[in-house]
Amino acid sequence: MSKALSIFDTTLRDGTQGEGISLSVDDKLKIARKLDQLGVHYIEGGIPGSNNKDIEFFNRVKELGLSAKITAFGSTRRKDSNTELDSNLNSLIQSGAQAATLVGKSWDFHVHTALQTSLEENLAMIYDSIAYLKRKGLEVIFDAEHFFDGYKNNPEYALAVMRKAEEAGADWLTMCDTNGGSLPHEVHDIVTVLAGQVTTSRIGIHTHNDCELAVANSISAVRAGAEQIQGTMNGYGERCGNANLCSVIPSLQLKLGYNILEADQLKQLTSTARYISEIANVNMPINQPYVGSSAFAHKGGIHVSAILRDSRTYEHIAPETVGNQQRILVSELAGQSNILSKAQGMGIELRSDNDSTREVMSKIKDMEHEGYQFEGADASLELLLRQANGELKELFTFESFKMLVEKSADKPVVSEAFVKLNIDGASVYTAAEGNGPVNALDNALRKALISYYPGLQNIHLSDYKVRVLDDKEATASKVRVLIESKDAANSWNTVGVSGNVIEASWEALVDSLRYALLRQTKREGYEEIPSAGRGLINH
């Protein structure tokens, strides 16, 4: 039997200390539900002693009936004060959380500098606070702040803190690398020392990523005896973030054989990570290990031909294990073979010895040179390839668009768009308002097309990104617009590039609707888009 480990997620507490991360109570509840489905064992919800938002979270999370233990975070009692009267400790009890994370000092320097009290009083603060919460029936996780720095500076005192916490009845003794400055071999050595002294409590680890070593330090601590790992999804957290559970969990489970999540739950890792990045409104780095969209994306020509033979040649795990997928990228580095294999995945038969194939390859290269990027815009690429293959008919002939934004003092801003197209020989001229210029343009374009193509009714734009391509003269330089569109079942991405953000948006909008109609036509003609193609556009 493999050994079990418990995962303590603090995305909702330490994660929100990250720059740019801000979560409403509703956001937190959504994330808690998702974390529970993933199967983490503890969900730290916030600091009930610090603000009303967190108190509301603890009240409302009870209604969700989650399996994970809900945990509230707070500090040991104030110096020279009475535990029973400590409002912070009482807020932990009142929160109704099953477990409390209690942070205390274990670095003598901090006791003197930050707490400004004596080493003895700090021990008493820790003992009293833990004993009080234990008497009230809470599971107590003692977070020894700066444990590793403390141990390096004064090992006797750091260990005395832990012994005192154990004596008070702490269920868990968690060593925090608060400043994120420790190295894996140091963590291994220090955890080994502590593990040799602890008898009734169990050991946890909480690391920060200031040296890009939070994941390594967590694994190192587990190998030395830690049984609980505190971390956050996507590694959110103050400064450089906390240990990234999206990397910690699969490495421990798939590579070291620890028993953490069910195989079905592990398959939700990628979608959970992406969901949380959406809720937190933070772009996920494409190269994020295990769950990023590039994590199993292959660009080099030689690599691509090898993985087409056997994916183990350049993949350390099967991407499906964590719910991710393999992708073949198109880029100037890639040989023709990448585009051909991508076309094949889309069900397009391109022949490599064909003039129109050579033409579209060179067109793609030129467009990339101008700033287009098809790595994130599979639908635009598919349109180019199918057009080269003579499969597409044009939806309309473009005549003109106009876009007007007007703002007067004390009046709301107004956006209008005017679109003139020729559809099947008829001239169509429409006007529409919108919340913003691109929305107005989108509305006017749909209005023009919808009576001819009613299938466009259920398409909507789900993401809109603007990238300035040359930072030197920001508002006078080229921009790339990426649009993500969705219908009930699928999503797809299109791209536009121009010196003018409105023109670039128009291009991506038009591609989006052309692609939607292409897919519908295929369906109506009973000509299924092959599943590989559907997979590829669905990231």
Which residues is 144 bridged to in the sheet? 104, 175
370 contributes a contact to a copy of itself by CB under 8 A: no
488 lies in the site for a copy of itself, by CB under 8 A: no
Is residue 487 a contact partner of residue 520, using CB atoms and an 8 Å limit?
no
Which residue in 4, 85, 404, 532 binds a copy of itself (CB under 8 A)? 404
Structure tokens at 473: 């003269």
Q: Check: CB of residue 184 under 8 Å from CB of residue 211.
A: no
Q: Which is nearer to a copy of itself, 140 or 479 (CB)?
A: 479
- Asked if 325 touches a copy of itself (CB under 8 A), the answer is no
Which one, 393 or 472, has the nearer CB to a copy of itself?
472
Backbone angles phi, psi at 480, to 5 degrees: -115, 130
- Contact positions with a copy of itself (CB under 8 A) in 92-131: 109-110, 113-114
> Which uninterrupted H or E stretch holds 174?
strand 172-177
- Least CB distance to a copy of itself at residue 74 (A): 12
User: Interface with a copy of itself includes 365 (CB under 8 A)?
Assistant: no
Pick the stretch among 65-73, 193-201, 209-217, 378-386 that binds a copy of itself (CB under 8 A). 209-217
Chain centre to alpha carbon of residue 117: 41
How is residue 143 annotated by DSSP?
A: E
CB 216 within 8 A of CB 186: no
Q: Binder to a copy of itself among 166, 171, 238, 382 (CB under 8 A)?
A: 238
Question: From the list 201, 251, 272, 357, which residue makes contact with a copy of itself (rule: CB under 8 A)?
Answer: 251
Cα-Cα end-to-end distance for the chain: 36
Cβ at position 447, least distance to a copy of itself in Å: 14
> If binding is defined by CB under 8 A, does position 464 make contact with a copy of itself?
yes
Asked if 376 interacts with a copy of itself (CB under 8 A), we say yes
Alpha-carbon distance values, 80 to 112, 123, 161, 368 (Å): 14, 12, 18, 67
Distance CA 75, CA 253 (A): 32
Interface with a copy of itself in residues 253-312 (CB under 8 A): 255-256, 278, 281, 285-290, 292-300, 303, 306, 309-310, 312
**What count of other Cβ atoms lies within 10 Å of the Cβ of residue 292?**
19
Among 64, 85, 197, 436, contact with a copy of itself (rule: CB under 8 A) = 436
- Assess 202 for contact with a copy of itself (CB under 8 A): no
211 forms part of the interface with a copy of itself (CB under 8 A)? yes
Cα–Cα dist 461/431, whole Å: 19
What lies within 8 Å, CB to CB, of 510 at 6+ separation is: 398, 445
- Shortest Cβ 169–a copy of itself spacing (Å): 26
Smallest distance from a copy of itself to CB 271, Å: 15
Q: Are 141 and 7 in contact (CB under 8 A)?
A: no
How many residues bind a copy of itself, per CB under 8 A? 123
Residue list 28-87, contact with a copy of itself (CB under 8 A): none
Site residues for a copy of itself, 121-180, by CB under 8 A, read 178-180
